[in-house]
Structure 1
């Protein structure tokens, strides 16, 4: 059994993105794998299945893989638009597709969130219009790392006028080439800003492994999901600056991370289980094309 602090840090943390590189599975095998994962003992780590809106109709024929006790929870991936002029129309079409699939079989499928790229020229007025389109559905707006702080500031301004901060920021933390990986400093600045302004944040790509490490397949160091999620909750709890968060993000020493049933600790810093759960409201999940690799690595490190 994993320690309570590790479970609090990783519960519902992985959005399974098996259709995306480097795994790049077709729809049917990806959904078949997900149907297996939702029945595993370690399903507590699983969050949603990342499904492009354009694949919604095709996915309907595979809903029989699921059952009411093990439904398909979807993180809908909207289309990428280049500017504000096409953004609202694409969002309206995405919302219509979400409503259609949600009504198709309420016992077997549910849309838990939307992920969509936010063009640079989208302003507060258009974000407000977006809220009227999607209603209460949580949305994570993706923007490049160099636009992270500006995007978070815009989302903060929007969220300040609503009852719950349902608009969050999505950060890309890697890819299949070295140039797709943001620096630790860029991630740190993005972590500290949501902690300050309470904007939810999620991540995608490049977080297959628990700890930061060099990987030959991408010819660079990949960020670790324990580093990223751990730095996020500790930064929020202890009001870290970006420099302190960067230090944790770059730590490759497994012995620096401790988990027990009361606390998670990284070097001289700690956070209790209740606080982890509270801080996780604003650092929600990360997309990974593998659900096996993260668990295998955690076992190899004897974290569970």
Structure 2
């Protein structure tokens, strides 16, 4: 089965982050295997922090990766950008994206300006933003959009309060669409459909729900309608909701520690292409 374009390079490999927390050497080997498997076209870059960058490059030998390892680097603060980019320049990696965290104890808008003014060598840059209830959210979004940066939404974690509800996530998506500002998501999106984790009781968003809500946002749906889509648990309703509008112009990817789980969900929902032919190419 090949990967339809709407799902191409949708899943950034965050295997070393919780809850997977795979040791770096194992994660690098697994990522190489994924890029030579039926999952290949679904796979985005390997996500890692600045502290793991040199070790990952050393582990990603030419026999595993004929081309330099594609990475998305989580940068802990705007002040760490220069060192991160300089370090990557000397390593056998291809930096596909930077994911910059903001210092929540300091005013946010000046930090965005610092990031925007930095020579990022044309690398796509996502800013991890606070929840939309944050008092600086409207101005922060406007600044990110004005500087042609991208957004990063945290959609889960290891605690229940790390998961935004459907209204919060709907506000994020709605506002991103109004500013035509692409976003990625991170954490909690292990499955296609919204569900309750039987072990933790946490409410997980579904990546298919987000794709459908994003398409609706691009068609000018309001926040309440998006929240309804994000809360939907009926697979048939969601698979039928994938229309002609391409949500990937806005929802570019999400980080997950299980590429296989995402693939198997799509296969079970009948959303993979059974026709012969080449898979869609990764970003």
**TM-score (ref. length: structure 2):** 0.87
Match of 2:7 among 1, 5, 10: 10
Q: Distance in 1 between matches of 2:135 and 2:89?
A: 32
1:144 aligned residue (130, 142, 155): 130
**Mapping of 1:1-304 within 5 angstroms?**
1=1, 7-64=4-61, 65-68=64-67, 71-79=68-76, 81=77, 87-88=78-79, 90-101=80-91, 105=92, 109-120=93-104, 121-133=106-118, 134-146=120-132, 150-151=136-137, 153-160=139-146, 165=148, 167-236=149-218, 238-258=219-239, 265-266=240-241, 271-272=243-244, 275-276=245-246, 279-304=247-272
Q: What is the CA-CA distance between 1:8 and the residue it aligns to?
A: 3.0
Q: Return the offset for 1:125.
A: 4.5
Per the TM alignment, residue 223 of structure 1 is displaced from its structure 2 partner at its CA by 0.6
Q: Deviations over 1:26-53 (max 9, x none)?
A: 1110011100111123311111110111
Q: Structure 2 vs 1, CA of residues 218 and 116 (structure 1 numbering), >3 Å: closer, same or farther?
A: farther
8 A contact 1:119–1:143 mirrored in 2: no
Q: Select the structure with the greater relative contact order (CA < 8 A; seq sep ≥ 6).
A: 2
**Aligned partners of 1:152, 1:140: CA distance in 2, in Å?**
17
For the 8 Å contact 1:52–1:77, the answer to whether it is kept is yes
Using the alignment, how far apart are the partners of 1:178 and 1:129 within structure 2?
32
The answer on whether the counterparts of 1:9 and 1:230 sit within 8 Å (CA) in structure 2 is no
Mind listing any 5+ residue stretches in structure 1 that lack a counterpart? 82-86, 259-264
Distance 1:175 1:96 in 2: 30
SS at structure 2 position matched to 1:209? coil
Once residues 19 and 216 of structure 1 are traced to their aligned partners in structure 2, the CA distance between those partners, rounded to angstroms, is: 23
Shift of 1:117: 0.9
Q: Deviations over 1:79-136 (max 9, x none)?
A: 2x4xxxxx43x222222223233xxx3xxx3000001212243454543332232242
Q: How many residues align?
A: 268
Q: Are 1:151 and 1:169, in contact at CA under 8 Å, matched by a contact in 2?
A: no
- TM-score (norm. length: structure 1): 0.81
Tell me if structure 1 keeps the 8 A contact 2:57–2:69.
Answer: no
SS at match of 1:271: coil
Rounded to whole Å, the distance in 1 between the matches of 2:127 and 2:35 is 26
